């Protein structure tokens, strides 16, 4: 669900009470720029097994 006014306190609280997640929708250019970094971040988060 995409809402422009989801950051209003009253609306945000109502959505949270209904267990509806509120996320930020990033522009396509930002998503494309971050995509190559996802694998790197996954590797950094998982502990290395030696």
* Residue 7, pLDDT score: 64
Task: Summarize the confidence of residues 5-29 as an average pLDDT.
Answer: 77
The model's pTM is 0.41
What are the structure tokens assigned to 31, written together?
């998503």
- As for how many domains the chain has, the answer is 1
Render the burial of 3-36: b for 16+ CB within 10 Å, e for the rest.
Answer: eeeeeeeeeeeeeeeeeeeeeeeeeeeeeeeeee
* Residue 4, pLDDT score: 59
Query: Is residue 37, in this structure, part of any structural domain at all?
Result: yes
Query: Is residue 24, in this structure, part of any structural domain at all?
Result: yes
Query: Is residue 22, in this structure, part of any structural domain at all?
Result: yes
* Residue 33, pLDDT score: 92
pLDDT band at 24 (very low <50, low <70, confident <90, very high): confident
Task: Summarize the confidence of residues 4-30 as an average pLDDT.
Answer: 77
Query: Is residue 1, in this structure, part of any structural domain at all?
Result: no
Task: Summarize the confidence of residues 3-24 as an average pLDDT.
Answer: 74
Containing domain of residue 14, as a range? 9-45
């Amino acid at each position: 669900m995409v809402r422009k006014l989801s950051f209003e306190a009253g609306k945000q609280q109502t959505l949270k009470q209904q267990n509806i997640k509120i996320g930020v929708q990033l522009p396509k250019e930002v998503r494309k720029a971050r995509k190559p970094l996802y694998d790197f971040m996954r590797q950094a988060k998982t502990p290395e097994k030696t």
